[in-house]
Amino acid sequence: MKQTRPITITSGRLVTSAGVREGALRMVDGRIAALGDVTAEDGDEIVDARGGLVTPGLVDLGVFAIDKPAFHFGGITRAALMPDQSPALDLPSRVSYIAKSGKPDLWVHPLAAATRGLEGREIAEIALMREAGARGVATGRSWIADSGAMLRLLQYAAMLDMTVVTHAEDAALVGSAVATAGEYATRRGLPSAPAEAEAIAIARDLALAEMAGARLHFRQVTTAAGLDLVRRAKAQGQAVTAGVTPAHFMLSDLATVDFRTFARLSPPLRSETDRQAVRAAIADGTIDVISSGHDPRGPEDKRLPFADAEPGMAGAETLLAMVLSLVLDDVIDLGRAFELVAGKPAQLLDVEAGRLEAGLEADIAIVDPDRPWVIQSAKMAATAGNTPFDGQPTQGRVTALWKGGVAIGG
Amino acid sequence: MTASQTPPHAARYPAGARAFPHRDLLGIGQLERHEILFLLDEAEQWVALNRQRTKHTDTLAGLTIINAFFENSTRTLLSFEIAGKRLGADVVNMHAATSSVKKGETLIDTAITLNAMRADAIVIRHGSSGATGLIADKVDCPVLNAGDGQHEHPTQALLDALALRHSLRERGAAADDFTGLTITICGDILHSRVARSNLLCLQALGATVRLCAPPALMPAGIEAMGAEVFHDFDAALDGADVVMMLRLQTERMSGQFIPSAREYHHLYGLTAARLEKAGKDALVMHPGPMNRGVEIDSDVADMIDRSIITRQVEMGVAIRMACLEVLTRRSRGVEGWGEAA
């Protein structure tokens, strides 16, 4: 489906990386034609934003399932799919199939499995998967424990000019742990690993990436020590970026009380001190990307004892509201909020989207940042309602969404 | 003797069901000090009964108790079975070691199945922390936690407290709590639900609790639960009134935690010579099963005047009778405890 008629959105507050300005935005042939002091032309479809925010569609870097209703609810028009599928995205044929799977109204950008079967040993056919549409390379849910294999992977990815998305938890330290070591894990008798497992993994991977000259993206950095390492590497000019999901800036390990498996995540929830460090890192720019980590899990994966349950949360629907809460809390401004959920991830994936700029894809949302709603596990659009935010009142909703200039659900 | 008879310290509890307002017994962490004392006092009548020739009442006649053990157990299962039978209940044991029961919905399905069979109380042991609470949410009858992962084992802590109380009384102590006592627990604290439940219970009853283990077997942040942490066993023993030894739970260990049993014994084994570092006439406890020659020497385990290990086992039956009797009061329509189901 292609855009057949130009659309002009009027009376909006345009959210650009430079800040928020009042104005209009015109979409023609699936692209942003102009924005700012723009007037509709004859024959345009006129959409009155009624003072709402006009924003780029969200680009969700690192989801585990393609879940269109949830993505569209959350204003997500592009999602980078983790290779942890069944089977793993470790063959070009699987990548090319996935790359087309969401079109036209959701673009899925596959992340190629770094190693065959995601087993952390043999490098997969990354170059062929790039040809098939892979927008990056990912180690998957786990860390590559073998330092030699990781170095060779980083060298190979650097040669191909592909970003390596990695999971930062030292595998041997973590073992079968399901919680962060500390008072709460001890009180509940949960197998736990020290939070330092993250910084140890980051330190090694930064050193290897520097040797290889590779671009590295840590999908989730959740501890003060890990963030300090990233901050220092950035200051020294290393090509490194960091992401996080809302769980780690909204919740601490206190949320695992009563063995609530919706709060069973990977990496596990951290201490309150680390949660505050994540918020500070979002504010100072150490964290570049906030993604949903969308991982819907049904009762067969979650209605279990905590340690036996699978990790992950359904996050697509709540991503925007949680990031907007950072704006309300004066952690960041609106322009930066959308850099975190759209601009920067689009840049990392090297796609022509994620910002309000003439010439880019017309992936556009209208957002009412004040609209209140209550997150309800039982009523979610996602294929499963495993949210640790169940029952929480929040605000900020997408009221209209376009992918490539074509309205979704309208 | 019947349950309606006045327990020895009736004045210190609220009346009726407010003395123990919980439907389930999932952990010591959910109990108030007076609720712990209530269960201990209730158990006294069963201690007396168990020492008679005819060890039987019909208090729970007609009730069905299911012991659902998802993890291997000999002594705890036997203790619960005897407790139920002496109370006159119909007791059924369901053996379902975790290896043979497929995880997943099966645990919930099992709970729903047991519920459909109209059990009047379900006793559960499971290898995962929090599993008994998960089952309790799905069933209509009281659930007793007989050990969940590394979380809690409340009846063990209660029976330890009862055994200790009896031993102190024999020595002429007037108080029935443990104010002023220093109790050292040494062993595999990390993997031990017994250590967690005992820490909570003994502290609630006024004791100072020291925990001793090599660093790899000491859980992070346990100081925040009020314990004094030691790695040097001799220092941990210094002046202690009670020494409780725990075994190494090798079945829960992944990876190497100690170099060898021999070396562990060298550093943490309770020998007669080492026991001298503790307070005069310090009591020795062990929840069993013991590994003689590893964490405890035979001559210490068998000291007639010091070791109360067999008394712990004896008190186990009485405590479990008390828990089963109290938790079924509501469904039996005991006066002041709500309607009969």
**ipTM of this predicted complex?**
0.89
Kindly report the backbone phi and psi dihedral angles of residue A165, in degrees, each rounded to the nearest multiple of 5, phi listed first: -95, 120
Identify which of A176, A189, A192 has the shortest CB distance to residue B254: A176
A283-318: pLDDT as tens digits? 999 999 999 999 999 988 999 999 999 999 999 999
Which residues on chain A are in Cβ contact (under 8 Å) with B255? 175
- Residue in chain B closest to A307 (alpha carbons) equals B128
A102-134: pLDDT as tens digits? 999 999 999 999 999 999 999 999 999 999 999
Contact between A303 and B254 using a beta-carbon 8 Å cutoff = no
A332, part of any domain? yes
Tell me the pTM. 0.93
**Residues A319, A58: contact at Cβ < 8 Å?**
yes
Contact between B103 and A308 using a beta-carbon 8 Å cutoff = yes
A353-378: pLDDT as tens digits? 999 999 999 999 999 999 999 999 99
- Residue in chain A closest to B138 (alpha carbons) equals A303
Say yes or no: B325 and B289 in one domain: no
**Residues A306, A257: contact at Cβ < 8 Å?**
no
Question: For chain B, first and last CA: distance in Å?
Answer: 24
Indicate the average pLDDT of chain B: 92
Say yes or no: B186 and B293 in one domain: yes
B170, part of any domain? no
Q: How far apart are CA A47 and CA A3, in angstroms?
A: 15
The answer to whether residue B260 scores a pLDDT higher than 90 is yes
Which residues on chain A are in Cβ contact (under 8 Å) with B104? 300, 304
Q: How far apart are CA A82 and CA B238, in angstroms?
A: 56
B102-116: pLDDT as tens digits? 555 578 888 898 999
A91, part of any domain? yes
> Model confidence at B341, in pLDDT bands (50, 70, 90)?
very low
A39, part of any domain? no
Rounded to the nearest angstrom, the minimum Cα separation between B219 and chain A is 6
Domain range spanning residue A195? Answer: 58-353+376-393
Say yes or no: B322 and B293 in one domain: no
- Residue in chain A closest to B128 (alpha carbons) equals A305
Q: Considering its fold, how many domains does chain A have in total?
A: 1
β-pair partners for A408: none
**Residues A190, A178: contact at Cβ < 8 Å?**
yes
Say yes or no: B328 and B297 in one domain: no
Identify which of B128, B131, B221 has the shortest CB distance to residue A183: B221
Rounded to the nearest angstrom, the minimum Cα separation between A36 and chain B is 55
A274: left (phi over 0), alpha (psi -120 to 50) or beta: alpha
Contact between A303 and B196 using a beta-carbon 8 Å cutoff = no
Strands (E), A71-215: 76-81, 107-110, 112-113, 137-138, 164-166, 179-180, 192-193
Rounded to 5 degrees, what angle do the CA atoms B255, B253, B93 make? Answer: 155
Which residues on chain A are in Cβ contact (under 8 Å) with B126? 305
Say yes or no: B194 and B254 in one domain: yes
Give me the pLDDT at residue B4, please.
Answer: 45
Give me the pLDDT at residue B2, please.
Answer: 45
Query: Which residues have C-beta within 8 Å of that of residue B234, sequence separation ≥ 6?
Result: B274, B277
A227-261: pLDDT as tens digits? 999 999 999 999 999 999 999 999 999 998 889 99
Say yes or no: B87 and B40 in one domain: yes
Interface-testing mutation among B129, B189, B223, with chain A (most A C-beta atoms within 10 A): B129
- Residue in chain B closest to A309 (alpha carbons) equals B104
Contact between A305 and B104 using a beta-carbon 8 Å cutoff = no
Give me the pLDDT at residue B1, please.
Answer: 42
A258, part of any domain? yes
- Provide mean pLDDT across the span A69-98: 97
Rounded to the nearest angstrom, the minimum Cα separation between B164 and chain A is 24
Q: How many residues does chain B have?
A: 341
- Provide mean pLDDT across the span B277-299: 96
- Residue in chain A closest to B148 (alpha carbons) equals A189
Which residues on chain B are in Cβ contact (under 8 Å) with A190? 129, 149-151
**Residues B121, B141: contact at Cβ < 8 Å?**
yes
Say yes or no: B64 and B92 in one domain: yes
Say yes or no: B85 and B115 in one domain: yes
> Model confidence at B131, in pLDDT bands (50, 70, 90)?
very high
- Residue in chain B closest to A184 (alpha carbons) equals B221
Say yes or no: B228 and B296 in one domain: yes
Rounded to the nearest angstrom, the minimum Cα separation between A184 and chain B is 8
Domain range spanning residue B211? Answer: 180-302
B44-91: pLDDT as tens digits? 999 999 999 999 999 999 999 999 999 988 899 999 999 999 999 999
**Residues A45, A407: contact at Cβ < 8 Å?**
no
User: What CATH number is attached to the domain comprising B280?
Assistant: 3.40.50.1370
A365, part of any domain? no
* Secondary structure (H, E, C), chain B: CCCCCCCCCHHHCCCHHHHCCCCCECCHHHCCHHHHHHHHHHHHHHHHHHCCCCCCCCCCCCCEEEEEECCCCCHHHHHHHHHHHHCCCEEEEEECCCCCCCCCHHHHHHHHHHHHCCCCEEEEEECCCCHHHHHHCCCCCCEEEEEECCCECHHHHHHHHHHHHHHHHHCCCCCCCCCCCEEEEECCCCCCHHHHHHHHHHHHCCCEEEEECCHHHCCCCHHHHCCEEECCHHHHHCCCCEEEECCCCHHHCCCCCCCCHHHHHHHHCECHHHHCCCCCCCEEECCCCCCECCCECHHHHCCCCCECHHHHHHHHHHHHHHHHHHHCHHHHCCCCCCCCC
DSSP code per residue over A278-300: HHHHHHHTS--EE--------HH
Say yes or no: B296 and B325 in one domain: no
CB pairs under 8 A between A and B: 81
Q: How far apart are CA B26 and CA B169, in angstroms?
A: 29
Contact between A186 and B134 using a beta-carbon 8 Å cutoff = no
Give me the pLDDT at residue B99, please.
Answer: 46
Give me the pLDDT at residue B105, please.
Answer: 53
Say yes or no: B144 and B30 in one domain: yes
User: What CATH number is attached to the domain comprising A388?
Assistant: 3.20.20.140
Q: Considering its fold, how many domains does chain B have in total?
A: 2
Q: How far apart are CA B81 and CA B191, in angstroms?
A: 26
A interface toward B at CB cutoff 8 Å? 175-176, 181-192, 194, 258-259, 299-300, 303-308
- Provide mean pLDDT across the span A337-347: 98
Peptide bond into A87 cis (omega under 30): yes
Contact between B220 and A300 using a beta-carbon 8 Å cutoff = no
Contact between A188 and B193 using a beta-carbon 8 Å cutoff = no
Which residues on chain B are in Cβ contact (under 8 Å) with A307? 128-130, 149
A5, part of any domain? no
Identify which of A176, A259, A300 has the shortest CB distance to residue B104: A300
Say yes or no: B141 and B271 in one domain: no
Identify which of B29, B193, B220 has the shortest CB distance to residue A181: B220
Contact between A189 and B149 using a beta-carbon 8 Å cutoff = yes
Contact between A259 and B134 using a beta-carbon 8 Å cutoff = yes
Give me the pLDDT at residue B205, please.
Answer: 97
Question: For chain A, first and last CA: distance in Å?
Answer: 14
A314, part of any domain? yes
The answer to whether residue B96 scores a pLDDT higher than 90 is no
SS3 of residue A109 by DSSP:
strand
- Provide mean pLDDT across the span A318-325: 98
